[in-house]
């Protein structure tokens, strides 16, 4: 067998010096993972020996060295000129006869085995690429739908030249690779007809936060280059690994992308073209839940095989419907970071209306002059520290991206080239903003904020923001459990890295307002919605679902599941909905189902809604969603809490109703909690403890109802205080009762973080847990530690 090519079946990771990281990985998977049912297309790779023959036979080494010696390594002012000369020199050279014969041998072998009517993906694989500290993402060229031997030889030739693209030269300079010591292997792989199906990219961790218990799957119609190039916004799915391994329904989040373009084979001959995606396909998910699950399981198997987080490309054949893995490389941003020692947080002090928004990367805030560039040729316009605004980035942009303090693109998803490079260089980026190049003016001062979850915002002007640093080794967890108050699922993966004991209060209102938007009863009884605009909006939002109820259940369950997965196996206490009637009325279709109340704060809210005919069907949807989270999705760390439960009779009614909907206390470890926010909850705490496993003191409502002070009144704000002796006595009394009846008890509110004395009071009273908003967590922990220290408690070191 020739030493100039190697078939995938004879390649593994020990051959990295011969065929580069990309091809070594393909051979490794073809050999060792196809027996596990993971499909990898067949192929072969030219070796580094073939490349060195190309260099030596054409006497290129001297020319190469001389040209590289002329490179301006400070400003890279002549990078484009040097790169162009090197590539021209390579393309003028001839592929040696022996190398051509070897490629022909590989071509004949594949066509004999798979038929003449096949095409190839021809990819460059440098012998220094895809190493743990260097991704080489997009630095070298690939050619798709290559047909026939002549075109294959030409594509291999161009791959050799692509070792010296401008971006690859700059990348090697930045990573201290010796240009003349790096060889190139060309991978020749059977093309999967994903132009007739779909394709995408998987990460075996969340690429933004580094949370490693999920697989992120991005998918588009047609060939996957559109994802990598950031040409379209893809569909996205998160799959939770622990419940995936239990064969539960592990998809915890999904987002449909606009998928404006579909890359397909060129109508004649070799090559590919982009064409508009038909409207009906844009509105469909590219993958079924079964296919998402298969890809996630394959991704976990690949990660386990390589023993590190992976970046994986896949394709679905439009003829056979079969899925294939076509590439796998190490993830190079989070997997190479040292252990988390500090957390830096950012918070805007004030906000304006956003100019645009998209996928937010970086969890930071930056500001500067916006510089709109149409192509990398305009790189000289971008000054150090300015915010780059463009339609999309390709690898050709890499040499200039480090100059930008922020990156904003119209197109792209979170696995696009722009997103990957932004993470590598540590930039703040808003990707896929849609119309950024239209609404932002060149030279305009802007603030780019990616500190508010997965969505990044671009604001006009230089806004003020606050930065804080949390040193984790200096922040032990106290004995008193410290938990989050949380409503936004997009922040969950990032916040899970903070010191915490779980989520003490997850509000459903944020999810219903933002992810669902529709009044539950307007879905149950759509025929009663009278407003034409509301009806049209409901139809638009639910058109993916044959049953409108399913829209609510899926959206709510996946939002809750995402938070539950982030903190798994710690408790996540989910409070069933506690909108007031005026708030419910503001949901789409809500006005047809809500009463007019003079004082909604004391009206139709909390437990009283759940069994009432006006909302009973809506509560059934909430229960169905929670049952799906706990049983179908396997997230039994979710506990459920009932708000504003006025009486023992009401408690009994709600619990009976929940049992009817399959949520029975103690079955599968289900615990039920009650918000303690009404004086009756305190007075009858012992009796309520027979119905509930835990209490959570809602200090705002309890203060309001003990003192008779409207919590929203500016006129009475001086009287509103959780530290009032009457309120504190009520809190002290219910904590004592809970401890006596062995009922868990916590408190949700701002006071323990604002006031060390209040934290001291709670600790001395014997509280089990205190829940904080994310921005108050650190202050809250410090106050509890001080309180425990003065009470001679011994803190537990956070690990």
Catalytically annotated residues: 417, 748
Tokens (6 digits) for 743: 């009922």
How would you classify the pairing of strands 387-390 and 406-409? parallel
List the end-to-end C-alpha distance of the chain, in Å, as a whole number: 54
Tokens (6 digits) for 215: 């697989």
Closest alpha carbon to 568 in 299, 240, 208, 293: 240
Sign of CA dihedral 84, 87, 91, 93: positive
Closest alpha carbon to 77 in 166, 177, 164: 166
Cα separation, 707 vs 327, whole angstroms: 65
Secondary structure (DSSP) of 392-405: ---GGGHHHHTT-S
Compute CA distances 438 → 29, 187, 236, 252, 583, whole Å.
Answer: 45, 40, 26, 35, 35
Axis crossing angle, helix 79-92 with helix 149-162, rounded to the nearest 10: 150
Cα separation, 416 vs 231, whole angstroms: 8
Q: Which helix (H) or strand (E) holds 448?
A: strand 445-449
Phi, psi (deg, nearest 5) at residue 525: -130, 60
Tokens (6 digits) for 194: 């994903």
Which residue do the tokens 């109820």 mark?
Answer: 549
Name residue 345's beta-bridge partners: 468
Q: Are 724 and 707 in contact (CB under 8 A)?
A: yes
Cα separation, 448 vs 460, whole angstroms: 9
Cα separation, 526 vs 154, whole angstroms: 61
- Largest Cα–Cα separation, the chain: 94
CB-based burial of residue 3 (10 Å sphere; 0-12 exposed, 13-18 middle, 19+ buried)? exposed
Cα separation, 445 vs 512, whole angstroms: 35
Give the CA count within 13 Å in the CB-facing half-sphere of 95.
23
Cα separation, 100 vs 186, whole angstroms: 12
């Amino acid at each position: 067998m020739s030493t100039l090519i190697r078939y995938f079946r004879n390649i593994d990771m020990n051959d990295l010096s011969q065929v580069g990281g990309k091809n070594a990985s393909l051979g490794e998977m073809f050999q060792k993972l196809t027996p596990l049912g993971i499909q990898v297309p067949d192929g072969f790779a030219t070796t580094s020996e073939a490349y060195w023959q190309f260099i030596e036979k054409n006497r290129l080494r001297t020319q190469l060295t001389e040209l590289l010696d002329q490179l301006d390594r400070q400003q890279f002012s002549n990078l484009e000129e040097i790169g162009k000369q090197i590539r021209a020199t390579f393309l003028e050279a001839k592929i040696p006869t022996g190398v051509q014969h070897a490629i022909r041998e590989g071509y004949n072998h594949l066509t004999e085995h798979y038929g003449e009517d096949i095409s190839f993906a021809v990819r460059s694989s440098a012998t220094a690429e895809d190493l743990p500290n260097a991704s080489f993402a997009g630095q070298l060229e690939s050619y798709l739908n290559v047909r026939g031997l002549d075109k294959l030889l030409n594509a291999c030739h161009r791959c050799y030249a692509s070792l010296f693209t401008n971006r690859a030269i700059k990348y090697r300079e930045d990573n201290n690779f010796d240009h003349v010591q790096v060889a190139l292997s060309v991978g020749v792989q059977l093309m999967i007809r994903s132009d007739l199906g779909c394709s995408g990219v998987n990460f075996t961790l969340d690429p933004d936060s580094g949370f490693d218990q999920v697989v992120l799957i991005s998918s588009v119609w047609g060939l996957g280059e559109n994802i990598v190039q950031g040409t379209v916004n893809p569909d996205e799915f998160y799959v939770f690994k622990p419940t995936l391994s239990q064969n539960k329904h592990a998809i915890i989040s999904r987002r449909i992308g606009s998928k404006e373009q579909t890359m397909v084979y060129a109508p004649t001959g070799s090559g590919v073209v982009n064409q508009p995606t038909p409207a009906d396909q844009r509105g469909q998910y590219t993958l079924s839940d079964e296919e998402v699950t298969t890809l996630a399981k394959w991704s976990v198997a690949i990660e386990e095989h390589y023993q590190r987080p992976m970046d994986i490309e896949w394709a679905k054949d439009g003829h056979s419907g079969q899925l294939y893995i076509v590439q796998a490389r190490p993830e190079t941003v989070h997997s190479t970071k040292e252990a988390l020692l500090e957390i830096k947080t950012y918070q805007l002090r004030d906000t304006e209306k956003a100019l645009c928004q998209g996928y937010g990367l970086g969890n930071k805030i930056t500001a500067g002059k916006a510089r709109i560039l149409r192509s990398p040729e305009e790189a000289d316009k971008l000054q150090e520290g300015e915010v780059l605004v463009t339609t999309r980035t390709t690898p050709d942009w890499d040499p200039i991206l480090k100059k930008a303090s922020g990156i904003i693109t119209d197109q792209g998803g979170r696995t696009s080239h722009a997103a990957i490079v932004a993470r590598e260089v540590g930039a703040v980026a808003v990707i896929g903003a849609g119309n950024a190049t239209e609404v932002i003016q060149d030279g305009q001062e802007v603030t780019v904020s990616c500190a508010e979850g997965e969505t990044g915002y671009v604001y006009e002007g230089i806004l003020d923001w606050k930065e804080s640093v949390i040193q984790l080794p200096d922040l032990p967890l106290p004995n008193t459990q410290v938990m989050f108050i949380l409503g936004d699922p997009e922040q969950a993966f990032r916040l899970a890295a903070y010191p915490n004991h779980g989520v003490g209060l997850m509000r459903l209102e944020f999810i219903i307002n933002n992810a669902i938007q529709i009044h539950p009863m307007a879905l149950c009884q759509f025929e009663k919605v009278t407003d034409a605009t509301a009806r049209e909006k409901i139809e638009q939002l639910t058109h993916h679902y044959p049953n409108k109820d399913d829209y609510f259940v899926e959206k709510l369950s996946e939002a809750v599941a995402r938070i539950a997965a982030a903190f798994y196996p710690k408790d996540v206490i989910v409070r069933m909905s506690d909108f007031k009637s005026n708030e419910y009325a503001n949901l789409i279709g809500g006005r047809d189902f809500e009463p007019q109340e003079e004082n909604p704060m004391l009206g139709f809210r909390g437990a009283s809604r759940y069994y009432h005919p006006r909302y009973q069907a809506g509560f059934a949807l909430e229960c169905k969603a929670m049952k799906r989270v706990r049983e179908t999705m396997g997230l039994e760390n979710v506990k459920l809490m009932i708000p504003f439960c006025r009486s023992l009779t009401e408690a009994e009614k709600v619990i009976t109703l929940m049992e009817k909907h399959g949520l029975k206390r103690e079955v599968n470890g289900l615990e039920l909690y009650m918000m303690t926010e009404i004086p009756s909850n305190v007075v009858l705490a012992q009796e309520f403890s027979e119905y509930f496993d835990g209490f959570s003191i809602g200090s705002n409502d309890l203060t309001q109802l003990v003192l008779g002070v409207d919590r929203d009144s500016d006129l009475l704000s001086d009287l509103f205080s959780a530290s009032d002796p009457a309120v504190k006595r009520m809190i002290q009394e219910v904590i004592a009762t809970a401890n006596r009846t062995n009922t868990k008890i916590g408190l949700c509110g701002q006071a323990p973080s604002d006031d060390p004395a209040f934290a001291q009071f709670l600790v001395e009273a014997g509280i089990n847990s205190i829940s904080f908003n994310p921005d108050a967590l650190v202050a809250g922990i410090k106050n509890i530690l001080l309180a425990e220290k003065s009470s001679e408690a011994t803190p537990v070191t956070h690990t």
